[in-house]
Amino acid sequence: MPLNATVHFHGIEMHLTPWSDGVPGVTQRHIQPGNSFNYKWTATQYGSYWYHGHQSGQLDDGLYGAIIIRPGKDQPTPFSLITTDKNALKAIERAAAGSQPLMVFDFRHMPSQDIAVITKAAGIELPCYDSLLFNGKGSVDCWSPEYIAFVLTSDQKTYLGLGNATSFTAKGCLPGKVIADVIAAGYPTNLSAVPSDIFDTCTPSNGTKEVITVTKKPGDHEKWVALDVIGTFGLVTVSFSIDGLSMYIYAVDGEYIKPQLVEAITVTNGDRYSVLVRLTEAQPGDYPIRIASVATAQLLAASATLSYHVETRGDAQNIPSPTRYIQDNGLPTSSSVTCRNEAALMAAFNGPRWLIGASTATPSLHT
């Protein structure tokens, strides 16, 4: 790439290799355009991690990816706290051994360098994005003014009132004038430096949708799927759920915990949640995987698909109205929805955190 760059490996212990931590000016010099640096480190942990650009806004521009480190065979697991059924335990172990990363990301069409220039000229933050993505896939979804008004939260209405405004923009954003008059009150601002497509213009697109396919084969007494949900956001925090399906959180930030059964999770930048979903008795079909921003500054939502097949029943079918757990504003659809319990997550599984049998990772970055 024609820019200075470094890559940080989020959550990875750089034991005896601090120069591979990827923080410019602290653990290494920038990688200059046209040069390369070989990141080499020993994996001493198991679990779900990720890497991302650590220079300016290169994360916002899409420099990120998943790192999944499989535990050794002798690593204690918390799966027997979910069930003691032998068939179910075998299915859970198979699912966890093949867990699939699901990176969720807030995306802007405008490069981060341009955003930085406009932010400085305008004197306000620009917390308005174009779309949310699953593993780099998604579309721009433009909502009607009526729907935007319908899903506004009480906090969003409060900010509108403080700024003497009545509605969010066509892009589902808190108006720039409200940000200038309320959030940046007392500071010099220049809204004329902000192009209209930052806050006010929404142009729909038709991108690809991420699909996680799971197939139950003859002889499978139990069927489970494991997902590593990774928050790779620049700004947004989201609610995450799968319509009609509960999830067992069994690891957080790469470490096993006492499993917690939930229907929705709050995910922000750097968060990693490893979840198990039981499909044994689920109807074959397509289940929406949803994320929705809970940030006050913007209404933004997206979906992927968990496509469940049973070989003896043919292709998956559209399921008539599976129970939806979160709204497009990130709030639960009802008071009965079970959300992530922070206190319960602190009850870590009583097993060693470190990888039994270390391995060496040697990713390279060429600019």
List, for residues 9-42, the tens digit of each pLDDT value.
Answer: 999 999 999 999 999 999 999 999 999 999 999 9
Q: What is the pLDDT of residue 321?
A: 80
Instruction: Show the domain range for 296.
Output: 79-105+207-353
pLDDT score of 361 more than 70:
no
What per-residue confidence (pLDDT) applies to 348? 66
DSSP string, 290-326: EEEE--TTB--EEEEEEEEEEGGG-S--B-S-PPP-B
Whether the per-residue pLDDT at 365 is higher than 70: the answer is: no
| pLDDT value of residue 362 | 45
- Please check whether residues 244 and 339 belong to one and the same domain: yes
Q: Does the residue 2 lie in any domain?
A: no
Q: State the average pLDDT over residues 66-86.
A: 96
pLDDT value at residue 312:
81
* Same-domain check for residues 94 and 146: no
For the stretch 174-210, pLDDT in tens is: 999 999 999 999 999 999 999 999 999 999 999 999 9
Q: Tens digit of pLDDT for each residue in 45-62?
A: 999 999 999 999 999 999
Residues 194 and 213 in one domain: no
Contact 107, 133 (CB under 8 A): yes
Q: CATH number of the domain that 29 lies in?
A: 2.60.40.420
**What's the average model confidence in pLDDT over 122-142?**
98
Q: Specify the pLDDT at position 317.
A: 67
If asked whether residues 213 and 330 sit together in one domain, one would say: yes
Last residue of a domain, one of 199, 227, 260: 199
Is 343 a member of any domain?
yes
Q: What is the pLDDT of residue 353?
A: 52
Contact assessment for residue 197 and residue 170, using Cβ atoms and an 8 Å cutoff: no
Domain count, the chain: 3
At which residue do the structure tokens 């489970």 appear? 224
Q: pLDDT tens-digit profile of 284-296?
A: 999 999 999 999 9
Q: What is the pLDDT of residue 357?
A: 42
Q: At a CB cut-off of 8 Å and minimum separation 6, what does 346 contact?
A: none
Alpha-carbon dihedral angle through residues 23, 41, 355, 229, given to the nearest 10 degrees? 50
pLDDT for the residue 320: 65
Kindly tell me if the per-residue pLDDT of 316 is higher than 80: no
Radius of gyration of the chain (CA): 22
Question: Does residue 291 sit in the same domain as residue 328?
Answer: yes
User: What's the pLDDT at 314?
Assistant: 67
Whether 1 is covered by a domain: the verdict is no
Given a cut of 80, whether residue 343 has pLDDT beyond it is no
For residue 285, the model assigns a pLDDT of 92
pLDDT of amino acid 356: 42
How many Å apart are CA 295 and CA 300, to the nearest integer?
Answer: 9
Average pLDDT value over all residues in the chain? 93
Helices (H), 169-274: 176-178, 196-199
Instruction: Provide mean pLDDT across the span 133-139.
Output: 98
Question: Is pLDDT of 347 > 90?
Answer: no
- Which of 154, 176, 199 is where one domain is finished? 199
Domain boundary among 149, 174, 199: 199
pLDDT at position 364 is 45
List, for residues 320-338, the tens digit of each pLDDT value: 689 999 999 999 999 999 9
Closest CA to 99 of 12, 226, 3, 258: 226
Residues 211 and 195 in one domain: no
pLDDT tens digit sequence for 247-262: 999 999 999 999 999 9
